[in-house]
Amino acid sequence: MMKKLLLLLMLPIFLFGCATPQTSHTRSILPDEDDNLGGTGIESTDIRTVARKMAVSILEVPEISKAQGAAPKIALLPVKNSTRFLINSDIFTKKIRIQLNENTQGKLRFLARDRIEDIMQEKQRKIDGLVSASKEADMMGVDYYLTGELMGISKAAGGDRSDYISMSFQLVDAETSEIIWENEYEVKRVGEAGVVYQ
């Protein structure tokens, strides 16, 4: 009886020890490469293509390309996501900003308005003499805001889904609210409905 009980207790340990371990097969691919996972949403290639296309287009705007004197100053506004996909839509404007900063040799300046509280606290520390100020400077004003919106139309039948997504961006004059530039990137994909985007 004792041998049977001992055998029953040892059996799960033996079976667990003989189980084939599961291994992960992770591989690195380039951001523009297809990951073969399918899906109908926004892909990394879309984000990179949008950033390049919009940056080139912005540089052709007369208010930017023919600006006299100080470089135009731009701040980013949140991008509105009206699609069914959960995505940090601000990745688009940040990628556009990076493209412009890399390729304009200082012809544009971006202001970190999303960090305004930290900047104001540091400015106050300098005024109070708590930290040294290397220069006296007023807060720079914004000339233009860069913003955008993601919109989509989705439909599904059975296990298939179709998604059309429009990614539009605007440069808005900070004083007049005039849209001085606007451009769009569109994509439509059909695929299986099971892919999850996060």
96-145: per-residue pLDDT in tens?
A: 999 999 988 888 998 887 666 666 666 666 666 666 666 655 667 889 99
Buried b (16+ CB within 10 A) or exposed e, 15-49: eeeeeeeeeeeeeeeeeeeeeeeebbbbbeebbee
Query: Per the domain annotation, does 93 fall within a domain?
Result: yes
Query: Per the domain annotation, does 48 fall within a domain?
Result: yes
HSE, side-chain direction, 13 A CA sphere, residue 66: 3
Query: Per the domain annotation, does 74 fall within a domain?
Result: yes
pLDDT at residue 187, rounded to an integer: 93
Name residue 147's beta-bridge partners.
170
Query: Per the domain annotation, does 12 fall within a domain?
Result: no
pTM above 0.85, yes or no: no
What's the domain count of the chain? 1
Return the CATH number at 109. Answer: 3.40.50
Total residues found in the chain within this entry: 198
Comparing CA positions, the residue from 141, 146, 142 lying closest to residue 59 is 146
Query: Per the domain annotation, does 72 fall within a domain?
Result: yes
**CA 84 to chain centroid:** 16
pLDDT at residue 5, rounded to an integer: 45
pLDDT at residue 6, rounded to an integer: 45
- What span, in angstroms and rounded, lies between the C-alpha atoms of 68 and 65? 9
- What span, in angstroms and rounded, lies between the C-alpha atoms of 54 and 169? 8
User: When comparing pLDDT for 40 and 49, which is higher?
Assistant: 49
Comparing CA positions, the residue from 178, 184, 192 lying closest to residue 57 is 184
144-198: per-residue pLDDT in tens?
A: 999 999 999 999 888 788 999 999 999 999 999 999 999 999 999 988 766 655 4
- What span, in angstroms and rounded, lies between the C-alpha atoms of 69 and 137? 18
pLDDT at 12 over 60: no
Query: Per the domain annotation, does 20 fall within a domain?
Result: no
User: When comparing pLDDT for 158 and 49, which is higher?
Assistant: 49
Please list, in sequence order, all residues whose beta carbon lies within 8 angstroms of the beta carbon of residue 11, skipping any fewer than 6 positions away: none
Query: Per the domain annotation, does 111 fall within a domain?
Result: yes
Most confident of 8-12, 28-32, 177-181: 177-181
DSSP secondary structure letter of residue 32: T
- What span, in angstroms and rounded, lies between the C-alpha atoms of 167 and 151? 7
Please list, in sequence order, all residues whose beta carbon lies within 8 angstroms of the beta carbon of residue 137, skipping any fewer than 6 positions away: none
Domain with 91, as residue range(s), is: 39-130+138-149+167-184
Query: Per the domain annotation, does 161 fall within a domain?
Result: no
